[in-house]
Structure 1
Amino acid sequence: MISVKMLKPYYIKADDHYVRIILAYQYFSVIINKRVYQFIPIEGKEIRINRRTRKVENVGSRFAFQKGKDIVYMTMTELISLPDFLTQLHNIVKPYYEGYEEVDQHQFENKLVIEELEKLNIKRLIDQALDEKNEEKFRELVRLL
């Protein structure tokens, strides 16, 4: 039986595409067969999440956990199969998704406004072509709608 005892980021780096959770000693521990193993940064040191898809990108990374002289390695794939890992991870990165969603929402709204303005402009040009009795220009503009 494996479960996550604690998952706290040492620090978090966020850019337009990813949220990177940097891990360090004593901030990440798992319980394996009722024994607590502490994370040690000898291989994988970060969890990289795509902000758009909200999926962990570095699924091939291996993380090391130590209890005394015993070292256990777990892949990211194994970790994301643990429900408590995903819950804690989601709670950590949730604020970074919210800011990203707002930006996406604004971009989406702006795009809709621009598309509507373009359609209105084409309709005005169609009216102008009708006023000028320019059938060729009229047909060309109608195809754009």
Structure 2
Amino acid sequence: MVTVKMLKPYYIKADENYVRIMLAYQYFSIVMEEKVYQFIPVEANEIKINRKTKKVENIDARFAFQNEKDVVYVTMAKLMTLPDFQKQLDSIAESYYFKQEVNIDKVKQENETALIIAELEKLNVRRMIDRALDERDEVIFNELVKLL
């Protein structure tokens, strides 16, 4: 059975689409058959997470761990099955995830609604100007023209 003893990022790099958790010696270790294995950057050395979906992208990555002269390889797919790994990974990357897109869509919709209302108000003022012209009401006409 494999368990994660420690998972700390060496550093974190975030771009528009991904969070990259970079790993280094002494920051990542696992326990396997009651032995502690330290991460060594022989093959994969990063965890790549999609900021929108919050899913690990490099699922096929292989990580090397060493205990004295014994080296074992563990795939990302295997690590993802470990609840403690997933929990630690989420706590590390959580602040880099995009906030819910629903909020962004809601703000866009509110802005569009505000624009539509402003346009309808302009059209209403123009109709009122037409009515003032029809009734030859110069005072109301002048006040309404100032609103445009």
TM-score (norm. length: structure 2): 0.76
CA separation in 1, counterparts of 2:105 and 2:16?
A: 16
In 2: Cα distance, 1:124 partner to 1:95 partner: 42
1:113 CA drift (Å): 2.0
State the partner residue of 2:20: 20
Q: Which moved more, 1:19-28 or 1:87-96?
A: 87-96
What is the CA distance between 1:51 and its match in structure 2? 0.8
Alignment-derived partner of residue 108 in structure 1: 105
Percentage identity across aligned positions?
50
**Aligned partner letter, 1:88:** Q
Q: How is 1:94-105 mapped onto 2 (pairs within 5 angstroms)?
A: 94-97=94-97, 100-101=98-99, 104=101
Larger Rg: 2
CA deviation digits over 1:90-139, x for unaligned, max 9? 11112222xx317x56633430122213443665688679xx9xxxxxxx
Specify the alignment match of 1:40 in structure 2.
Answer: 40
- Give the whole-Å Cα distance in 1 for the aligned partners of 2:112 and 2:95: 31
Question: Secondary structure of 1:73's match?
Answer: strand
2:142: which partner in 1? none
Aligned residue identity for 1:114? N
**How far, CA to CA, are the matches of 1:10 and 1:55 in structure 2?**
20
Paired amino acid for 2:24: A
Find the aligned partners of 2:93 and 2:81 in 1 and give their Cα distance.
Answer: 18
Aligned pairs for 1:1-145 (under 5 A) are 1-97=1-97, 100-101=98-99, 104=101, 107-120=104-117, 123=120
Q: Provide the rounded CA distance (Å) in 2 between the counterparts of 1:74 and 1:90.
A: 19
Gaps of 5+ in 1: 133-145
Give the letter aligned to residue 27 of structure 1.
Y
What is the root-mean-square deviation of aligned Cα atoms in Å?
2.5
Structure 2 unaligned regions, length at least 5: 131-148
* Residue-pair matches, total: 129
Structure 1 counterpart of 2:113, one-letter code: E
